Amino acid sequence: MTTPLVSILWLNYNSAPFIGTPLESLERIRDLEYPNFELIVVDNGSTDKSFKTIEAALEKMDLQLKIIKLKRNLGFTGGNNVAYRARNPNSKYIVLLNNDAFPYPDGLSNLVESMENDKALGSAQGVILNHDGKTIDTAGGFDDELLSSYLFLRGREPKTLRREICISHANGAYAIYRVEAVEKVMGDNERILEDELFYTREDDLIGFRLWNAGFKVKAFPFIVGKHKRSSSSRRVGVNGMYMLFRNWSLLNEISNSRYRNLVRLLIMRCGFTSFTSLRVRRKGRINSEVSPSVFLRDFQKAVSNGREIGKKIKTRMGPIDIYKAPIIKVRPSVALPRLVIPQRFVNRDISKVLDKILSGEIELDQLIPFDIG
């Protein structure tokens, strides 16, 4: 197998409360069997002492290394874009790797070999396990016409996936991208992700862009590592909800979903549900820290900001055709009830569709959207 240069992008932000996690991630990077990679570490303006601890650990590792310290937090997208611009110009592939992800020694070699064997691949990932190694964290992501996103095979047994499959997008926890493909879809902008998204749904958007440019995105059945999901953002609260709804609205503005107006109503419905979940604590107690008026103000701001940012991105980069990617096509008879039915019933139906993908009943290489309903 050839061993082209790979640039691994790795971010840190205020990780002192769980510093053992990023240190373990760095140790696993050090132990990678792939012989030709550089590690680009970006600190996203941390205000704790975590970066000093990380620097001290890196000094003891024999790695091809670049370290960048930012003055402020640019988010997952902005931080990775800084790292992307610092890559070696000879790098053929970029790897996004979260600081709470732990790559297996042979994982990167398998990913590079898969990319080398299929020039049509713009991005790929392997199976990522939960940190306990007992179940799958994700084997990629699928989007539906309502622009909801689903982690493929989450919670299933590690060896559930037995063949490579096309997916809507690779998960940013641990994914590989072809630099040539990124340059084609992002133009001369010298970034791999859209800065404005900050975090969440950025991997959905780059996945759509790759499919729109004629590249494929696939998940492969080999296990590449483990992941402690949301280690650095586990207490998202209202701020996390803001980003979720803003970027959902942003994607809706850019896309050509036939349900664009319905998505706007669905976002409103999910906003109410999210407020209720934040407002009511366990055992029915009211959380006085979540004010109805403040939440409503922030929610309205999230939706309007998402639409405005989406318009700017669409003007600059062009719209996305979601139907060029393998997505879950939702029949009208099922789409309308989504405004009122509980999410657990939606997840049940989505699971049935994903089972058909897994069994091979649905052939994704044909790029025909598959139905729910």
pLDDT of residue 366: 42
The Cα 128–Cα 171 span in angstroms is 9
Average predicted confidence (pLDDT) for the chain:
90
> What digits encode the pLDDT tens for the residues 254-296?
999 999 999 999 998 888 777 666 655 545 555 556 677 777 8
Largest Cα span, the chain: 60
What is the torsional sign of CA 252, 257, 263, 264? positive
**pTM attached to this predicted model:** 0.92
Q: What's the confidence (pLDDT) of residue 193?
A: 97
Is residue 367's pLDDT more than 70?
A: no
Residue given tokens 């990678």 in the structure block: 32
Q: How far apart are CA 53 and CA 1, in angstroms?
A: 36
Residue-range domain boundaries for the chain = 6-227, 237-372
Mean pLDDT of the 136-156 span? 95
pLDDT at 315: 96
Q: Using a pLDDT cut of 90, give the percent of the chain over it.
A: 74
Q: How far apart are CA 115 and CA 147, in angstroms?
A: 27
- How far is CA 137 from each of CA 54, 142, 157, 174, 356, rounded to the nearest angstrom? 26, 14, 10, 11, 19
Mean pLDDT of 1-27: 96
Sign of CA dihedral 131, 121, 66, 78: negative
Does residue 237 register a pLDDT over 90? no
Q: Which of 239-248, 267-276, 307-316 has the lowest mean pLDDT?
A: 267-276
Choose which CATH entry (3.30.110.60, 3.30.450.20, 3.90.550.10, 1.20.140.10) describes domain 6-227: 3.90.550.10
State residue 373's pLDDT score.
Answer: 53
- Containing H/E element for 347? helix 343-359
Q: What is the pLDDT of residue 212?
A: 97
Q: Buried b / exposed e across 303-328, counting CB within 10 Å, b at 16+?
A: bebbeebbeebeeebeebebbbbbbb
Question: What is the pLDDT, as a whole number, of residue 273?
Answer: 73
Mean pLDDT over 226-243 rounds to 72
How many CB atoms are closer than 10 A to CB 291? Answer: 13
Using 50, 70 and 90 to split pLDDT, how confident is the model at 368? Answer: very low
> How much is the pLDDT for 339?
86
Average pLDDT estimate for 87-97: 98
Q: Note the pLDDT of residue 279.
A: 53
- Confidence tier at 309 by pLDDT (50, 70, 90): very high
